[in-house]
Every structure is written in structure tokens, then in C-alpha cells.
Amino acid sequence: MKEAMFYKTQDNKFVCCFLCSHRCTIPESKKGICNVRLNKNGVLYTLVYGNLASEAIDPIEKKPLYHFHPGSLAYSIATRGCNFKCKNCQNFEISQVANEKELITGEFTKPEEIILAAKKYDCFSIAYTYTEPTIFFEYAFDTAILAHESGLKNIFVTNGYITEEALIKISPFLDGANIDLKSISDNFYRNNCGAELQPILDSIKLYKKLGIWIEITTLVIPTLNDTEEEFKGIADFIKNLGSEIPWHISAFHPTHKMLEFPRTPSSTLRKARKIGYELGLKYIYTGNIPGDEGENSYCFNCGDILIKRYGFQLANNKIQNGKCPRCDIKIDGIGL
């Protein structure tokens, strides 16, 4: 165990954790909602420091980040645990630590070893992903510092439930993030995720304010968040924050506790994409439909295809010095 960051001890040996927006008050010998932070005699410990549950070499497009050094590789890592309880989680085997007694397993790996592995496999960045990076913050923070010293970039793939205190702390070392905006409905978050909407909206705004490159992802689940009102609400929020922020609209497939739900029709994603463009967004992508035209990057000014993709692979990239070669307008992003 390693002592956690972002907590205060009360007189009765309860601790108040302020790493994520649940801001749990945890009795002695108990864990927070994430089930990976333990109060032991008034000291809060992280139970997942260094305990890798998953690691892989991924194209950056899998995060998905389409405007952040396209075509590069990310060394992706995760521990067990999450501060959400999403019924549709595709990584529930490692994200959901079910109870107080369950053993939190993983292969102990030092931050220094992560850096060496990333360098060995010619990765450009380290992605903290698969589960929720906020809950293994201490591990991510130490790794991120070493990554920057080694010339590597750092990326969060996150549900956005981090507190202002924690995000500001890691922001000097965080270069990019893909943030889930699962719905514009607080009821959706409460019923499907066990969380609230407003802290996520606040977090997304703070990421932008801190100068971290962000892209937004919405997984569209039939009957739950697939209405025109939802699409307009999400697109409007993004537009007011910055029309240059890419919006990824992904198709749901049945998993975990939502096996009875149908797959998302491609027509629904195309409708959302159309709405987003009508409201003024520059870059909108459809996900989980390989071969769809919505995988490609288009110039928002002249409409020319700039990057052609199939799945997570780049077939062609025509961007030159960050600009459209046809009309010479600047394309938003990092490392284009």
C-alpha cells in the first residue's frame, strides 16, 4: 500500500477523500466508492499503486484521439478499479472491484519500468486508460512526471469525475485527454453510472482552461441517450466551449449488464453527426463502425478529406505543417 494523495483525516478517524467528485467520507477500515482506497487508522491508502491489470501498445486513434499526433503509438496502462458503476462497461472485469474483501490483483510494475517499456516499443505517449485513471492517480502522477522528463507525452482517457484539486496538480504533465460525456442528462448519470452530470461539465471546462488538448466521446445507447434533444444538448455544450473540440460519437454493443439492449444503428450516429455540424462543430467522428465516412478527418473550410482511416488505422494523411494542403487553413490539434 502507498499513502494516498488528496484526503483529510477527521477527529473520529474518518477520512474525507477529495480525489474525485464523489468526495467520499470513509470510516476506519473501509474503502471509498472506487473500492481501491482504504482508510487504515485514519490514513488513506491507495491499493493499486504499481499493480498493473492491463498494458498494451495502441494506436493513438484507439483512445480515441484523432487530432493529437495522429498515427503515433501510445503505451496504455491500467490498474483495477473505477469510481463509476456503468452498466455498459466493456472493461468491467478489471474496472469493477466488487466488494471489501476481494483481492486487488495486478503485476507490480514501477513507473520507471513503464517508461522503459514505452521507449522500447517506440511509443510517443503513455495513455492512462481502460479503467479510470483518476483512481490510480498516484501511480499515474509519478509515471507522468518521469514520462515528461523522458520526452514522452501523457494522455488520460477518463470519465471526467476528477476534482479541481487533482486535475490542477497533474496538469503540468498532462498533454491530452479523451473525456466521456455520456449524456447531457443528470438522470442518465445517476441511473447508469452512479454519478452526477455537473462535476463532469465543470471538469471538461477546467481541462480546456488549463490548456490540455481534449476530445469528447459519447457512446450512444439506444433508448437511453439517442434522442435529438440529447445530441443537440451535447453538441451545444461542446460548441460553447470550443468548436475546435472533436466529438466522437460511438456505437454501443451489448455488454456487461446491458445485454438485452440492441446495437446502435449507424443511421443514429449519422443523425447525431449531422446535428453537430449544423450547430457549428468543426470535427465530428463516428466510432465502432469500420469503413464509415465519419472515421475520416475533413477540412472544416473546404471539405477536403485530410486523413482517411479504417478502424484505428491511418490509410492516408494529407495534412501539411498543420494545414489543409488545398485551402491552406490551419487544422486544430496537436502534432498534426
The b/e string for 46-84 (b: 16+ C-beta within 10 A; e otherwise) is bbbbbbbbbeeebbbbbbbbbbbbbebbbbbbbbbbbbb
pLDDT band of 307, cuts 50, 70, 90: very high
pLDDT over 90 percentage in the chain: 95
Where do you find CATH 3.20.20.70 in the chain? 51-317
pLDDT tens digits along 38-53: 999 999 999 999 999 9
Tens-place pLDDT, residues 205-252? 999 999 999 999 999 999 999 999 999 999 999 999 999 999 999 999
pLDDT at 104: 80
Tell me the three cell numbers of residue 219.
457512446
Which letter does DSSP use for residue 190 in this model?
I
Band of residue 102 on the pLDDT scale cut at 50, 70, 90: low
Structurally, at CATH architecture level, domain 51-317 sits in Alpha-Beta Barrel (3.20)
Residue 1 banded pLDDT, cuts 50, 70, 90: confident
Q: Which of 247, 240, 236, 233 is nearest to 187 (CA)?
A: 233
Q: What is the pLDDT of residue 106?
A: 86
Measured CA distances, 181 to 17, 18, 103, 188, 220 (Å): 24, 21, 31, 11, 10
The mean pLDDT of the chain is: 96
